[in-house]
Amino acid sequence: MTHSQVQNDIVLEQIIESMAQNFSEDHDYSEMIERLNLYRKLPLNINTATKEQLEDLFFISPIQINSILNHREANGLFIDVLELQSIIALDNNTIRWLLNFIVVLRPGDFTNLSFKNMVLKSEHDLMLRFGQVLEKQSGFYSSDKNEAGTYSGSAMRMFARYRYNYSDFFFASVNMEKDAGEPFSFKNRLKGFDFYSANLSYKGKGKVRKVIAGDYALQFGQGLSMWAGAGFGKGANLGSIARKDVGLRPYSSVNESFFLRGIAATFEWRKFSITPFYSGRRIDASFSDSNSQISSLQLSGFHRTKTEIFNKNAVSQRVYGANMQYNAADLNVGLTGFQTRYSIPFAEGNTLYQQYNFIGSTLNNLSIHYSYTYKNSYFYGETSHSLNSGFASMKGLISSIAPAVSLVNLYRNYERNYHSFFNQALSESSNAANEKGFYSGLAIRFNKEWELFTYADFFKFPWLKFRVDGPSSGLELFGQMTFTPNKQFKLLSRFRQQRKEENTEDLDGGLDIVDKQDLRIELNYKISDDFAIRNRVEIVRYQKGILYPEFGFLSIQDIIYDSMGSKFSGNIRFAIFETSGFDTRIYAYENDVLYSYSVPAYQGKGIRFYVNGRFKLSRKTDLWIRYATISYASQETIGSGGDLIEGNQRSDIRIQLRLQF
């Protein structure tokens, strides 16, 4: 393999960070990371790759996918990966990323045989991970077990993962997890780990395309009605704005909320496919005072305190329905219908802004989605209806108006009373409802070295929102310029401005404009074959109404070591941050052990340090160790509730072992 582990982690980091502009701790991209890792291990042959397979590499835009396929059709099979450079729709970045996940194999190639051999066998992959915060956190040391912030389990995090595949058609997967503070015991009717997830899946080439029993995820259309797992929104990349749905796939993440449990299958007949699905599982919820109605679903997946354990699996959720699709070369049309039913009804919201929230126990969703390629344009959209309540709709157009110029326009209109429990569509709010907006983006490659990506998004919220006591509007402007004079050097500068309305600080009422500006400059360069360096400086300015502006500052120094012959690879980060508070916090993606990642917010004043190492113990055994610490300059405690630490430092250690056999 030409690309080593750490370099690849850097690529994954770049991809995720460019796709997910507004990310925070609660987004779960582990499925996507695992998907890309799989393609790294078994790269896609660009000469046989189908549209669906290329769509799995979610950072490529639909126009780019089309241009790769057209190139192959017009010029015959690829001879070398460098041929990608002659496809004008592909920018340097995308090519560089793509090279990590594809190979060029021609029929009759010697490598083709060994490639096939590699696939046609059964493989086991077992991974164990342990982690713990090293400082004393109050939740673990409280004497009163009934106190609100008291955790019932130990501070250690444990995770075990097992994957099995027989050739490329049969797969099995098991995930087991225990978060910090959750009990690990087999007594008192406890079942060891806090969370288990497993599935068996079959992938076929005939009429039966996919069958999954166990935990699975569904992604249809643009995610307005059914999208389990994270989806990208407004990113620093054209590819992020049009979703590529993958339909049915095995669930592999440890997020305890967004998945389905039951049985589902995809059947294909000529150009038609149908995916019926059934799911029944218990989920966490908290209740209204009378305990007879749900006040909200609990999505954190934590079961540490008495209340969290009480809310665990409190409601049963049943989902069933089907998706039908027509797939032609240029056209894809799909219809999705499903019912979500809870054992206990949802309560009416207490406040005015919750007036249009879902109430009752049964929700029916119906949605239609399409995508159509015409010459250099890609039309896509979805309209979804929650029966007896509202509609939500989005329509997008990506056009490549010149070889190096692409334009995106996206209109969205989500009614305030639109509901879906699996709604993950592009939106400014956390949920695609109560929002209207128009997004336009432009990507230009001026020459081989300079690239620009910019967008403007204007949005309105017709109904009230949390902390916004009136209809409001806002906008977002984004511009990114990259300069890549050679393979060793990359300079990136990025500006983003967001303007929204929020309740004023005083109680007189009315809304204030909240303006947040963010400037980032990042430098990546290789100093030798083994060492790469990255510097980042980020400044945030936040202003609410006529109050004084607040500022946040972050500076990062990364060193990445990765030597071809060496059994060791690793990276180190040192960062200094100084932000005035929560509103000026700065998020940064952090490297972690394989398949794991974190996106902490740097907030307050202090320094951050981490070191990641990977040791290749044998051909089939790998060991990862990560140590991370954050130390604050002017704080005497860190965190709150059960996470409270008396002191100004918080360190975390993580060990991961992987065996492949």
Partner 1 sequence: MKYICLICIFFQLSVHAQNNSGARSKALGSASTALEDVWSLRLNSAGIASIESVIFALGYEQHFLDPELSTQSAILGVPIKDYVLGVSFQRYGITEYLEQTAGIALSKKYSDALSIALSMNYHQVSIPFYGSENTISVDVGMQYSLNDKLRLGSAVTNPGRSKINDLSGSQIPTGISVGLAFDLSDKVLFLSDLTKILDYGMNFRLGIEYQILKSFNLRGGISANPFKQTGGFGFKFGRIAVDAAISSHPRLGYSPNLSLNYEF
Q: Which stretch binds partner 1 (CB under 8 A): 151-159, 341-349, 470-478, 621-629?
A: 470-478
Beta pairing partners, 297:
285
Query: How many whole angstroms separate alpha carbon 452 and alpha carbon 494?
Result: 10
* Nearest alpha carbon to residue 135 among 654, 655, 644: 644
Q: Give the pair of three-digit tokens for residue 361.
A: 């126990």
Residue 454 or 598 with smaller CB distance to partner 1? 454
The span from the CA of 103 to the CA of 105, in Å, is 6
Stretch near partner 1 under the rule CB under 8 A, chosen from 144-152, 167-175, 442-450, 613-621: 442-450
Instruction: Kindly tell me the sign of the dihedral angle through the C-alpha atoms of 32, 265, 199, 285.
Output: positive
* E strands in 509-567: 511-526, 531-544, 550-562
Q: Is 623 in the site for partner 1 (CB under 8 A)?
A: no
| Cβ(645)–Cβ(137) below 8 Å | yes
Contacts of 76 (CB under 8 A, 6+ apart): none
Residue 348 DSSP label: P
Which stretch in 140-148, 237-245, 437-445, 577-585 sits in contact with partner 1 by CB under 8 A? 437-445
Choosing from 76, 192, 403, 485, the residue that interacts with partner 1 (CB under 8 A) is: 403
Six-digit token pair at 230? 């994270």
Q: Does 444 bind partner 1 (CB under 8 A)?
A: yes
CB of 421 to partner 1, least distance (A): 32
Q: Of 92, 409, 431, 649, which lies in the binding site for partner 1, with binding defined by CB under 8 A?
A: 409
Closest CB to partner 1 among residues 440, 648: 440
Q: Nearest approach, Cβ of 459 to partner 1 (angstroms)? A: 9
**In the complex, minimum distance from the CB of residue 167 to partner 1, in angstroms, rounded to a whole number:** 47
Select from 424-432, 440-448, 568-576, 638-646 the region that touches partner 1 (CB under 8 A): 440-448
Choose one: 113-121, 398-406, 427-435, 617-625; the region binding partner 1 (CB under 8 A): 398-406
Burial class (CB in 10 A: 0-12, 13-18, 19+), 576: middle
Instruction: Give the nearest distance from C-beta 64 to partner 1 in angstroms.
Output: 18
Determine which residue in the list 69, 134, 475, 539 makes contact with partner 1, applying CB under 8 A.
Answer: 475
CA-only gyration radius of the chain, Å: 25
Residue from the set 200, 456, 491, 657 that interacts with partner 1 by CB under 8 A: 456
DSSP string, 327-343: E-SSEEEEEEEEEEEEE
3-state secondary structure 585-619: CEECCECCCCCCCECCEECCEEEEEEEEEEEEEEC
Q: Binding of partner 1 at residue 299 (CB under 8 A)?
A: no
| 454 binds partner 1 per the rule CB under 8 A | yes
The smaller minimum CB distance to partner 1, of residues 344 and 475, is found at 475
Q: Which stretch binds partner 1 (CB under 8 A): 51-59, 153-161, 400-408, 529-537?
A: 400-408
CB 195 within 8 Å of CB 254: yes
Token duo for residue 393: 């709709």
Beta strands in 422-486 (DSSP E): 435-445, 450-461, 472-486
458 contributes a contact to partner 1 by CB under 8 A: yes
Q: Determine the interface stretch with partner 1 among 183-191, 402-410, 552-560, 566-574 (rule: CB under 8 A).
A: 402-410
493 binds partner 1 (CB under 8 A): no
For residue 519, state whether it binds partner 1 (rule: CB under 8 A): no
348 or 515: CB nearest partner 1: 515
Tokens in use for 626?
């990560």
Residue 204 CA to residue 213 CA, distance in Å, equals 15
Q: Which of 38, 198, 297, 404 binds partner 1 (CB under 8 A)?
A: 404
Alpha carbon distance 650, 632 (integer Å): 9
Task: Please choose, out of 399-407, 510-518, 528-536, 554-562, the segment that lies near partner 1 by the rule CB under 8 A.
Answer: 399-407
Q: Which is nearer to partner 1, 37 or 454 (CB)?
A: 454
Amino acid at 218: L
Residue from 329, 402, 527, 533 touching partner 1 (CB under 8 A): that is 402
Beta carbon nearer to partner 1, 402 or 527:
402
The nearer residue to partner 1, 444 or 657, going by C-beta atoms, is 444
Residue number with CB closer to partner 1 (372 or 458): 458
Of residues 211 and 405, the one with the C-beta less far from partner 1:
405
- Does residue 473 bind partner 1 (CB under 8 A)? yes
Output the smallest distance, CB 338 to partner 1, in A. 35
Is residue 407 a contact residue for partner 1 (CB under 8 A)?
A: yes
The amino acid sitting at 245 is D
Q: Are the C-beta atoms of 659 and 122 separated by less than 8 Å?
A: no
H runs (alpha helix) in 51-181 = 51-56, 62-75, 92-98, 110-119
Three-state SS at 516:
strand
Structure tokens belonging to residue 106? 């021609």
Instruction: Count residues binding partner 1 (CB under 8 A).
Output: 20
Nearer to partner 1, 310 or 483 (CB): 483
What is the DSSP annotation of 192-251? BSSEEEEEEEEE-SSSEEEEEEEEEEEE-TTSSSBB-S----S-SSGGGTS----EEEE-
Q: Exposed, middle or buried: residue 122 (CB in 10 Å: 0-12, 13-18, 19+)?
A: exposed
What number of residues does the chain have?
A: 661
Q: Which is nearer to partner 1, 345 or 470 (CB)?
A: 470
Q: Is 599 in the site for partner 1 (CB under 8 A)?
A: no
Q: Does 446 bind partner 1 (CB under 8 A)?
A: yes
**Please, what is the minimum distance in Å from the beta carbon of residue 497 to partner 1?**
8
Chain residues that interact with partner 1, rule: CB under 8 A: 401-405, 407, 409, 438, 440, 442, 444, 446, 454, 456, 458, 460, 473, 475, 477, 497
